[in-house]
Amino acid sequence: FPSHDKRVEIEVAVLSSRVIESEWGSSTLWTFESGEYKFKWFDSGYTFKAEIGESFKIKATIKGLEEYQGQFATKLSRVARAKEKELVSN
């Protein structure tokens, strides 16, 4: 997969989201998949909206590979839905 700190566009499906509380406040942990790859992203802004199972394209920055309880996932930052290209008719 692309290297660390590379900006990418990926077609993903939403696997889960859950709010995590910490001493610095709360954030939402989003997990996505694309083919055999799993991705995770901590959203502290609460502006990202999606339904579990929904598929769409995102733009994100690769932050590195992480292992949690034996599962590997690519950690993302600066995630946003990619803009859909509009069809223009003449």
pLDDT of residue 62: 95
Query: What would the pLDDT profile of 40-76 be if each residue is shown by its tens digit?
Result: 999 987 788 999 999 999 999 999 998 888 888 999 9
pLDDT of residue 86: 60
pLDDT of residue 1: 61
Query: What would the pLDDT profile of 11-24 be if each residue is shown by its tens digit?
Result: 999 999 999 998 98
Round to whole Å and give the CA distance between 3 and 45. 25
Round to whole Å and give the CA distance between 75 and 65. 6
pLDDT of residue 53: 97
pTM of the model: 0.83
